[in-house]
Chains A and B, each alone.
Chain A
């Protein structure tokens, strides 16, 4: 197979956006083409989860390819829940690696704030098992709450550890002009103060308001190309070197050990093996912290830290911007936002910026290897990517 490179990248603000879904998808694409210095592509993949249900927009890729005047390029919409973005990148990688196409555009876009938070939560909950979970009122926060309780009991994670993730990622988001939340928070303000219960009420015990990502609109785009094309552009060579995907039971309660995220473990293993690197080689990572507990657990499951010790690494400051392995420098889903279909592409965009040295105030020094984990369902469909800067 051929090697595949990221030649262009861009994103909208992850925020509340007041324009249609197809434009949320189109604008980062235009900026990514400008970034790459190209005007033609062979194929377009658009990752989106809720266009049909939330925005009344189906066939999104067909709309976007025309909006961008890129017809007659092929175009497909990719839906894989909150992992749609990385799934679309995987499809793009396969198209270039196989030699089917030379330049492929991968967009992720979502417009969730067209509905209120309750409706958005219900829409995301439709990815749970319809008869074993959804009809009983299960939502993603409720699953995450139960998961967190188990994790706390088994591994000694506390509410304070969860708050530390939120504080760290809000701080990183303040350095990212495209992030949804630009609000520094403190452990005192969300845990210790007399007003903490109102500032940070329970959403799904033990998870509180600041343990949950915001509901966001947003779009992101990464353009992938063959080595031959990438070299002609004369930009830093950022290779999408490893792609991994794994699944787990649809129902969380069917897992032998619910605190193990086997799909994360499997997808990461593949992504590292294909790239020929180890978790300890990674310089910067974007993990899927839709809930604060997930950053801690994923940091263990992908192999950065031993199982049950992610919160200890957090305590030591290992995952801070200035730590040994900065995690979620963009602010993560917690601070940057989580427009579900766009998230995986947004994670890749952050890693590309970091490896190019273009991440501004949140730049990780000498970052050469980056990693993303895009978590679909409640860990039932996970896609991990490894990026390497070659020169």
Chain B
């Protein structure tokens, strides 16, 4: 009976080509490997997402909560046609990006979670995700939204997304924006970088273990500081929590 019920609850994924791993050099000189992970590796990254559930800055809390659920949904077969890419520096987890296919022609961008900020790590991972949709899944457009204003501005400015406001996005039902194949091709030369194949030693190191982020965003001292700050025109609660974190008070 349980198996019969599981057959009903578990979606059947459509066949999809793998994302070939790629390599790029960051401004820091470090090598970033972006590769696809399978369900078996999801438990390895969940512990690195969980601490971000209470980081309000840049909407890390909402993004990480949704990513956590999406990763579980993937690992436990409750999300159809999902894929997950990770970006690693020397094994260290630097970013997670994921998405899914709505149908053969339309992709859905789910999240871009940078666990190490700066150096365009999130932007490189996002570009790899879009490359997967257009170059490997051969889709015509990808529906995109962002919880964080910083992320939204970045995608908007860099890719000049088109409106698809008639289509509610799977993330919160908000109006969608779209990256079309044409827009992606225009941005390709300047934004989509990386080399293949990844040298075997680097790839093996990345596959051997997903190491924890070395400097993840820290949860606040006061979990509700940002919420309270909405009603606090002075912003003092936010300022105090940050300074407390930094050991300045």
Output the residue of B25, B30, B243, B248 with the most chain A CB within 10 A: B25
Question: What residues of A have a CB within 8 angstroms of the CB of B235 in the complex?
Answer: 18-20, 23
Docked-complex contact B236 and A19, CB < 8 angstroms: yes
Choice from B26, B238, B239, B246 contacting A199 with Cβ under 8 Å: B26
Shortest CB distance A174–B (Å)? 11
Q: Is A99's beta carbon under 8 Å from chain B?
A: no
Choice from B28, B118, B195 contacting A194 with Cβ under 8 Å: B195
Look across to chain B and name the residue whose beta carbon is closest to the beta carbon of A67.
B234
Give the interface of A toward B (CB within 8 A).
13, 17-20, 23, 27, 31, 116, 177, 181, 183-186, 188-190, 193-201, 210
Please, could you name 26 A-B residue pairs with CB atoms under 8 Å apart, sorted by A?
Answer: A17-B239, A18-B238, A18-B239, A19-B238, A20-B235, A23-B234, A23-B239, A116-B153, A183-B118, A183-B119, A184-B28, A185-B28, A185-B29, A185-B119, A186-B29, A188-B25, A188-B29, A189-B26, A189-B28, A189-B29, A190-B27, A194-B24, A194-B195, A195-B24, A195-B26, A199-B120
Binds A, one of B68-76, B173-181, B186-194: B186-194
Question: What residues of A have a CB within 8 angstroms of the CB of B243 in the complex?
Answer: 27
Look across to chain B and name the residue whose beta carbon is closest to the beta carbon of A188.
B29
Look across to chain A and name the residue whose beta carbon is closest to the beta carbon of B192.
A198
Q: Is B16's beta carbon under 8 Å from chain A?
A: no
Chain B positions 190 through 209: 1 when the CB is less than 8 Å from some CB of chain A, otherwise 0: 11011100000000000000
Output the residue of B27, B119, B195 with the most chain A CB within 10 A: B27
Q: Is B223's beta carbon under 8 Å from chain A?
A: no
Docked-complex contact A195 and B118, CB < 8 angstroms: no
Question: What residues of A have a CB within 8 angstroms of the CB of B25 in the complex?
Answer: 188-189, 193-196, 199
Output the residue of A19, A23, A186, A194 with the most chain B CB within 10 A: A19
Docked-complex contact B27 and A200, CB < 8 angstroms: yes
Question: What residues of B have a CB within 8 angstroms of the CB of A185 in the complex?
Answer: 27-29, 119
Question: What residues of B have a CB within 8 angstroms of the CB of A183 in the complex?
Answer: 27-28, 118-119
Chain B positions 209 through 239: 1 when the CB is less than 8 Å from some CB of chain A, otherwise 0: 0000000000000000000010001111011
Inter-chain pairs besides A190-B27, A194-B193, A199-B27, 17 sampled, C-beta below 8 Å: A17-B239, A18-B229, A18-B238, A18-B239, A19-B236, A19-B239, A27-B239, A184-B28, A185-B27, A189-B28, A193-B29, A195-B24, A198-B124, A198-B190, A200-B27, A201-B190, A210-B27
Q: How far is the CA of A184 from the CA of B27 in the complex (A)?
A: 8
Q: How far is the CA of A200 from the CA of B119 in the complex (A)?
A: 10
Question: What residues of B have a CB within 8 angstroms of the CB of A188 in the complex?
Answer: 25, 29
Choice from A17, A19, A197, A200 contacting B234 with Cβ under 8 Å: A19
Question: What residues of B have a CB within 8 angstroms of the CB of A184 in the complex?
Answer: 28
Shortest CB distance A290–B (Å)? 19
- Knowing A188-B29, A189-B29 are in contact, say whether A198-B233 is a contact too (CB < 8 A): no
Q: How far is the CA of A20 from the CA of B232 in the complex (A)?
A: 11
Question: What residues of A have a CB within 8 angstroms of the CB of B153 in the complex?
Answer: 116
Top 3 A-B residue pairs of the complex, sorted by shortest distance between their CB atoms: A19-B235, A186-B29, A193-B25
Q: How far is the CA of A183 from the CA of B120 in the complex (A)?
A: 11
Q: How far is the CA of A189 from the CA of B118 in the complex (A)?
A: 13
Docked-complex contact B195 and A197, CB < 8 angstroms: no
Q: How far is the CA of A188 from the CA of B235 in the complex (A)?
A: 41
> Which residues 26-70 of B have a CB within 8 angstroms of A?
26-30
Look across to chain B and name the residue whose beta carbon is closest to the beta carbon of A183.
B118
Output the residue of A13, A23, A199 with the most chain B CB within 10 A: A199
Question: What residues of B have a CB within 8 angstroms of the CB of A186 in the complex?
Answer: 27-29
Shortest CB distance B152–A (Å)? 11
Question: What residues of B have a CB within 8 angstroms of the CB of A210 in the complex?
Answer: 27
Look across to chain A and name the residue whose beta carbon is closest to the beta carbon of B120.
A199
Shortest CB distance A200–B (Å)? 6
Q: How far is the CA of A196 from the CA of B120 in the complex (A)?
A: 11
Look across to chain B and name the residue whose beta carbon is closest to the beta carbon of A187.
B29
Q: How far is the CA of A183 from the CA of B214 in the complex (A)?
A: 13
